[in-house]
A and B are shown apart, each in its own frame.
Chain A
């Protein structure tokens, strides 16, 4: 699976959009981009995933660049409860392992 690079930490004001970047320059054609988050020390929670088109669900939007070498997770109106570590993971659809890196620690501030 391709390696990802994320900033270790970010701040965001409550009510504003949080834009979390992820670089995956070695991504291959059959690999998807997945996002999970871990709130405090709870188990990680799935957020969204995509292949090459932008995706949106009730939690977030995922923007993938045309060359697929980077992506951005967008939380449109961050709340204090969105404070968490966000993990960007690249894996083929046939992949079986969820391999975590360091993630981005997002702090939403009042």
Chain B
């Protein structure tokens, strides 16, 4: 049973629009992540957070921004969407103290299409 929720599941939006992808988890995890994945391609880390008011950029450069004002909430924002932002965005969380990459929980993803 997934305890991490992403909305919307699908989004089609016009170029230049501002969008926010929502991600919430009910597990009390300190660490949260955003990955980007094009169809049939690898997942790439674009943002992560180790706790409230902590955000860092990941390995893949992204024009998106994130915020972490509450432990359970880690939204991703695109100020001006472009067709190159078309992709799937996956949110994940993990518990501090367990160590390693064991125990990551992923959301179902948001499939974004910018036309």
Contacts and interface: CB of A to CB of B under 8 A. Distances in A.
Interface of A: 32, 34, 36, 38, 41-46, 49, 89, 91-103
Contact of B99 (A94, A100, A103): A94
| Residue from the set B35, B88, B94, B106 with the largest chain A CB neighbour count within 10 Å | B106
Contacts of B103: 46
Given A41-B39, A44-B43, A98 B107 contact: no
Interface of B: 2, 31, 33, 35, 37, 39, 42-45, 48, 50, 59, 88, 90-92, 94, 99-109, 111
22 contacts: A38-B43, A41-B37, A41-B109, A42-B108, A43-B91, A43-B107, A43-B108, A44-B104, A44-B106, A49-B102, A92-B100, A93-B100, A95-B100, A95-B101, A97-B45, A98-B33, A98-B45, A98-B101, A99-B45, A100-B42, A100-B43, A102-B42
Contacts of B50: 96
Interface of A (DSSP majority class) = loop
Interface of B (DSSP majority class) = strand
A43 B100 CA distance: 18
Given A44-B43, A98-B33, A100-B43, A91 B100 contact: yes
Given A43-B91, A98-B94, 6 more contacts: A32-B100, A44-B90, A91-B101, A93-B100, A96-B101, A98-B104
B99 to A, nearest CB: 4
Given A34-B100, A89-B101, A96 B106 contact: no
